[in-house]
Structure 1
Amino acid sequence: MTTLTNKSAITVKGSAEIVCDYLNYGINSILFQRGLYPPENFQATENYGLNILMSTDSKIKEFLSTTLGQLKEWLLKRTVNKVALVITNVKTLEVMERWDFKIEYEGEEGQGDTQTSDKPLKQIKSEIRDVLKQIASSVAYLPLLDCLCSFDIQIYTKNDVELPKEWAEAEPANIRNAQSVKMRSFSTNIHKMETVVTYRNEDD
């Protein structure tokens, strides 16, 4: 039985991949739901028992692949606290909406690469499915983005992280009259991720 348990255990690298997979599907879903690009630029893919719309634009795919590849490295080193998807009005450069993906590290810090989790993958995927469902239904309460918008991704790291040359320091993406909605969280028992959307409250 021990061999079987070890085989099915999730490693730190495996956990980082689960987190990055979630972000890839989650970000694509947000780009579709919030109407940043035309619907015909997306294609349905099945994962987590859901139909998720993924961008077919090669530039977006490459951007996300590069960004999440770097994030994966930082997750292994426990140097990332948060990933933010920032949606900005192209004309005024005002931040319209921000999706914060907050990361917590579970277990002992000194364990490094040897840390494993025996949490069933089925359970983790079920938790992720619940979050993705909440992202999809968020259009019901989020204000309509009735202007041309662009998006960027900010990664919040510890101060001593060496940035690759293509990365730059960014200003905090603050939103005036901000209102936040917290989604469900999911955990691999190595990484815990909380998703929060912050948007401008038009009533104020």
Structure 2
Amino acid sequence: MSSAQCNKSAITLKGSSEIVCEYLDFGINSILFQRGIYPPESFKTAENYGLTILMSQDKEIKEFLSVTLSQLKDWLTQKVVNKVALIITNVASLEVMERWDFNIEYDGDQSQGDKQVSDKPLKQIRNEIRDVLKQVASSVAYLPLLDCLCSFDIQIYTKDDVNLPQEWAETEAANIKNAQCVKMRSFSTNIHKVNTMVTYKNED
């Protein structure tokens, strides 16, 4: 009986991948809102992690994130992702203004392969995610104003031998001139660990 209860509360590799993708969905939407990439009226409030988070209602953005995160979930389950980057670019000059890096590490006993599980309480993980998202929301206090029309893209850094879907393309790393970095808190499911940081153009 106790064994069955233990297994029931365990987080699987697939479950951990879903937790990471949910964090990225809310995190990316929060950044798009906080950084004013799209009009505030195109966002709607959602409750998660004990926070009120603004989520885009734009059909194209929702579809783009859904397809991207669905593919990412598969790659996280295969443990072939090193980093996810949200790139914010000046539409007119194509200059990269800001890059949000979500660095992925793999925790726990890797020898278990796809049978790996974590017994870390979900409440603890969600509290850790909440603390990161609070930092993301407060970042507007020190990040420079984006006073130009901007667009965003997502880059996923994988191992070299990954087969890319047809609609995906290899791309160059998005580097920023006069870069300044701020590292935020991390969270871990004890299977995946995510370190979040923002790199922005220092105007000084």
- Is the TM value for this pair above 0.5? yes
2:203 is aligned to: 202
Q: Secondary structure at the match of 1:5?
A: helix
Q: Secondary structure at the match of 1:130?
A: helix
TM-score by length of 2: 0.99
Which whole-Å CA distance do the structure 1 matches of 2:10 and 2:174 have between them? Answer: 38
**Residue correspondence of structure 1 range 116-135 to structure 2 within 5 A:** 116-135=117-136
User: More displaced, 78-87 or 108-117?
Assistant: 108-117
Which whole-Å CA distance do the structure 2 matches of 1:179 and 1:70 have between them? Answer: 30
Q: Secondary structure at the match of 1:29?
A: helix
Which whole-Å CA distance do the structure 2 matches of 1:172 and 1:114 have between them? Answer: 33
1:78 is aligned to: 79
Which whole-Å CA distance do the structure 2 matches of 1:7 and 1:160 have between them? Answer: 34
**Residue correspondence of structure 1 range 1-204 to structure 2 within 5 A:** 1-203=2-204
2:149 counterpart letter in structure 1: L
Which whole-Å CA distance do the structure 2 matches of 1:146 and 1:123 have between them? Answer: 38
Q: Report the alpha carbon displacement of residue 116 of structure 1 after superposing the two structures with TM.
A: 0.4
Q: Secondary structure at the match of 2:82?
A: strand
Which whole-Å CA distance do the structure 1 matches of 2:102 and 2:71 have between them? Answer: 16
Q: Secondary structure at the match of 2:139?
A: helix
Which whole-Å CA distance do the structure 1 matches of 2:194 and 2:44 have between them? Answer: 26
Q: Secondary structure at the match of 1:145?
A: coil
TM-score by length of 1: 0.99
Q: Secondary structure at the match of 1:183?
A: strand
Which whole-Å CA distance do the structure 1 matches of 2:129 and 2:109 have between them? Answer: 24
Query: What number of residue pairs does the alignment pair up?
Result: 203
Cα deviation 1:40-67 (Å, max 9, x = unaligned): 0000000000000000001000000000
Q: Report the alpha carbon displacement of residue 108 of structure 1 after superposing the two structures with TM.
A: 2.9
Unaligned runs of 5+ in 2: none
Which whole-Å CA distance do the structure 2 matches of 1:134 and 1:123 have between them? Answer: 17
Unaligned runs of 5+ in 1: none
Which whole-Å CA distance do the structure 2 matches of 1:143 and 1:48 have between them? Answer: 27
1:21 counterpart letter in structure 2: E
Which whole-Å CA distance do the structure 1 matches of 2:128 and 2:112 have between them? Answer: 25
Identity %: 75
User: More displaced, 180-189 or 102-111?
Assistant: 102-111
1:105 counterpart letter in structure 2: Y
Cα deviation 1:140-159 (Å, max 9, x = unaligned): 00000000000000000000
The runs of at least 4 consecutive aligned structure 1 residues that moved more than 6 Å come to: none
Which whole-Å CA distance do the structure 2 matches of 1:108 and 1:122 have between them? Answer: 22
